[in-house]
Structure 1
Amino acid sequence: MNNKYKKLIASIALDAFGLIPVPFLDFLWAPISGYIMTKMYKGKEGKVAGIVSFLEEILPLDIIPTFTIMWVYSYIINKRKNEELIEN
């Protein structure tokens, strides 16, 4: 299996884990989630996504699939943007 799709599966699993409704789990999960995001997605985008992931988990916004959105951005949206830059 391609590393890209392994990262997609991990992203979906991490988003699902963030949905678990356990009191005070968000306070533990938020910094871990932010850290994992910065390790999965490098560069400025990964750092911004790590902050967004932390905020999404610490606030009552747990329905946003942050990891999966970042995967879509990295492998679909950003890929098209990079291909357009190469063509021009």
Structure 2
Amino acid sequence: MTEENDNKYRNLLLGFLFDGIGMLSFVIPGIGEFSDVIWAPLAGWLMTRLYKGRVGQAAGLITFTEELVPGMDVIPTFTLTWIYTYLLSKKKGQSMKD
């Protein structure tokens, strides 16, 4: 497996983990939403570390906002960014197989 594939699947697994952490606020209604004040900036920062460039910056801002807005935690932003990065935005002529 190449280093690119290693990072690809590492990002997917970390994305599942981080999306799960973001959804934990639903476990404790009311109090859980307060935890988003701490998780939102951390999640935004983590997104910019996983995905470089404009994609990471845009996704970091979206993640930060999504985590702050009550009730929006169900959106799996990390997983959606992985899908966009590795499946939807492939360069023309590049194989979709990995």
Assess same fold via TM > 0.5.
Answer: yes
Q: Where does 1:21-32 land on structure 2 (aligned, <5 Å)? A: 21=25, 22-32=32-42
Structure 2: distance between partners of 1:50 and 1:40: 10
Per-residue deviation, residues 23-68 of structure 1 (Å, max 9, x unmatched)? 4110000000000001110001110000000000000210100000
* CA positional deviation for 1:6: 1.2
Which one of 54, 63, 81 corresponds to residue 64 of structure 2?
54
Matching of residue 9 in structure 1 with residue 20 in structure 2: no
Number of residue pairs matched? 83
Structure 2: distance between partners of 1:51 and 1:3: 22
Q: Where does 1:30-41 land on structure 2 (aligned, <5 Å)? A: 30-41=40-51
Matching of residue 45 in structure 1 with residue 49 in structure 2: no
| Percent of matched pairs sharing the same residue | 42
Which one of 18, 23, 26 corresponds to residue 19 of structure 1?
23
Matching of residue 75 in structure 1 with residue 83 in structure 2: no
CA RMSD in angstroms, aligned pairs only: 1.5
Task: Please tell me the residue identity of whatever aligns with 1:75.
Answer: Y
Q: Higher helix proportion, which one?
A: 1
